[in-house]
Amino acid sequence: MFADLRVKFGQPCQILGWGHTDCQTDPGFNKVSQSDFIKDYLSHQARQELFGHQSPWTDQEINAKAEKWINSIGINERSFFSGTVSEMGLIAARRCLKNAGFNPADLKLIIGGSNTHERYPSLADQIKCGLGQSSAACWDITEACVTNAAAIQSGVAQIRSGLASNVLVVCSEKATILANRDKYLYSNLFGDGAFAVLLAAGVQDSFLAFDIISLPEDGQIDLIYKTDDGFEQNGPKVHGFVGKQVVDFLNKFLTKAGIDPSEVDHLIPHQPSRKTLDLLEKEFRKICPNFKGQFHRNVETMGNLSSVSPGLIIASSIESGVIKPDELKVIITFGSGLSIGAYAFR
């Protein structure tokens, strides 16, 4: 953990613009309900195990299973993308640069963030290739769902140190490929999406604080993992980790950053499930009762987007006017490792 969360180098870093994929308007996206997922996406083997008998399976059976899952996890539907991770990233990157009125040829650094990028070399290289010629350097960062915070922190550090005058950060996840479709328990959690943010040297710093911690000890590194058979997790222990350690980390982050919870306008967490978000919000409000800001969630209609969730919420909420530029936003991310990351900005 960093000794001083408010440490700044010589050059202030400001945010010039955000961009995101929009599953309602961007080509290649398909909104899939839980019932449709069971019928059209889940494997035959998984359906047999789910219903306990051979096909056919009636609509009544399918809808009943879907409703049970929705009541438990809170994910009603998810976004599936037919293209690649880099294609989604390009959609978000182009929208971000357009919103900022920024010429792609002037980019100095592109940082990609993804846990599901399927190609070599980096996602950042693929984004650069898609945007056209520039002198931008490229690299990727991966740290499970905390990739969001790690990638943005890396970009801010490059600006503050003077090594880059601008940085495009792009996180893109085809998280629907994380879980094996033979396993109903995990494969109906994830969605697809991307976001981008453009950072640049400025007069006033947009960011108040960053912190990231990794806690792999005592077997915690094995609580969320990916095998040849797909995504696996120890759900009860991960749920408990969020309710205790993530909440404690967030409280300490605000204290060390000198941020009173009453000043926070928007708290934007990673989006694993409604059940986990309910616990996070309840426990955080318990220890920080003066927090009166908005607790954001989009998991009901998007699913778990891994590293993308907070950034997509920010970008889409700024676009819709739900989040105002001068409001204080605090982001808390957590995932495999087990790792936790947080940052605050205006």
* DSSP H helical ranges for the chain: 34-40, 44-51, 59-73, 85-100, 123-131, 147-161, 184-187, 235-241, 247-256, 274-287, 299-302, 309-320
What pLDDT does 9 receive? 67
Mean pLDDT, the chain, integer: 92
Position 152 in a domain: no
Q: With the CA atoms of 321, 322, 325 and 328 taken in that order, what torsion angle do they form, in degrees rounded to the nearest 10?
A: 180
Express each pLDDT in 136-155 by its tens digit. Answer: 999 999 998 999 999 999 99
Position 164 in a domain: no
pLDDT at 252 over 50: yes
Domain that holds residue 299: 207-345
Cα 268 to Cα 330: distance, rounded to the nearest angstrom: 6
- pLDDT band (50, 70, 90) for residue 3: very low
Position 239 in a domain: yes
Express each pLDDT in 71-91 by its tens digit. Answer: 989 999 999 999 999 999 999
Position 247 in a domain: yes
291, 284 Cβ separation under 8 angstroms: yes
pLDDT at 1 over 60: no
Element (H, E) at 166: strand 166-174
Cα 22 to Cα 34: distance, rounded to the nearest angstrom: 20
Cα 133 to Cα 145: distance, rounded to the nearest angstrom: 30
- pLDDT band (50, 70, 90) for residue 118: confident
Position 126 in a domain: no
Position 334 in a domain: yes
Q: Token digits for 253? A: 């982050």
Position 273 in a domain: yes
CATH of the domain at 230: 3.40.47.10
Position 182 in a domain: no
- Structural domain count of the chain: 1
